[in-house]
Amino acid sequence: MTATTLLRPRDSDALRAEIRWVAEKAGVPVVFGGEVFQDTLLISELHGTTTNGLRGLPVVRAYGLGGRVIDTKRPAVVSDYRSASTITHDYDGPVAGEGIRSVAAIPVVVGECSRAVLYAATRGGFTLGDRITDLILQAGRRLAAEIHIRDEVDRRVRLLELTAPSPDTAPAVAEELRAIHADLRGMACSTADDELRIRLHDICARLGRTLVGEPSPDAPALSRRELDVLAQIALGCTNHEAAQRLSIGPETVKSYLRNSMVKLGARTRHEAVALARRYGLLP
């Protein structure tokens, strides 16, 4: 198992969190879902089910409601699953066992691929309304954004693992590593996953130590947010650009930058970056 594999939290944990959120917010009786592996959805996370019929059920692309949304990459809703003519009925047994009638299926699309599917379902005569559908769509978008961030982190960490600079390429590689460091800090600010945020900041700290060693003993104590902002400024970002990358407001960027300049004794933003690097606070 590689270091990259160990760094990534399980996507099923994020999927489970969104399922719980939908169940709590929408008050819908049954919420479930799973990840897509190649062309097959494996249902693994369930809330409100009364049987084990859906647990571990493999749903093949283009078959059933879940297979349909994997294939089309578009949400789908059926008000009466048993009589729906727009889907195949290969999975009627497990669905009937739960007494499910109305079902919404939302594909979690990252790039051009369906990576997971979220379902919300009701029993009896109660059908899904627009509010419930909107909530599960929100959950699907959040999960897609989270998986995208994790994919990008994995990609950049793999680049770090494969980088072996020669004397001729060392300066360019150092600049690229600084850019990766700043990007990882930006991702840490935008993710909603606390565990992933902590891991990202740990990677940033390791990267900084690799490039410049431990911070100087007399380095001023800059907060994590102040370092986040300085890392973006070091790339040449304006306050507005730094705000976009860190998912905060421009005025907040200005405040963190001002505080770091005071702590470092810097008169300009560029001097603040230079001093932070001299102290070993930034690569």
Residues 144 and 211 in one domain: no
Largest CA distance in the chain: 73
The answer to whether position 157 is within a domain reads no
**Residue 124 reports pLDDT greater than 50:** yes
| Structural contact between residues 186 and 197, judged by C-beta atoms closer than 8 angstroms | no
According to the model, what pLDDT value does residue 90 have? 94
For residue 66, what pLDDT is reported?
A: 96
68 and 208 assigned to the same domain: no
| pLDDT tops 90 at residue 33 | yes
Greater confidence, 254 or 183? 254
What residue ranges in the chain does DSSP mark as E strands? 30-37, 40-47, 58-60, 76-78, 100-110, 113-123
**Whether residue 184 sits in one domain with residue 66:** no
57/44 Cα distance (integer angstroms): 8
Do 223 and 106 lie in one domain? The reply is no
Q: Which residues pair with 105 in a beta bridge?
A: 76, 119
Q: What is the mean pLDDT of the chain?
A: 87
The total number of structural domains that make up the chain: 2
Range of the domain at 52: 3-151
Q: Which class for 32: exposed (0-12), middle (13-18), buried (19 or more C-beta within 10 A)?
A: buried
- pLDDT at position 70 is 97
Any residues with CB less than 8 A from the CB of 127 and at least 6 apart, and which? 79, 101, 102
Please report whether residue 163 resides in a domain.
no
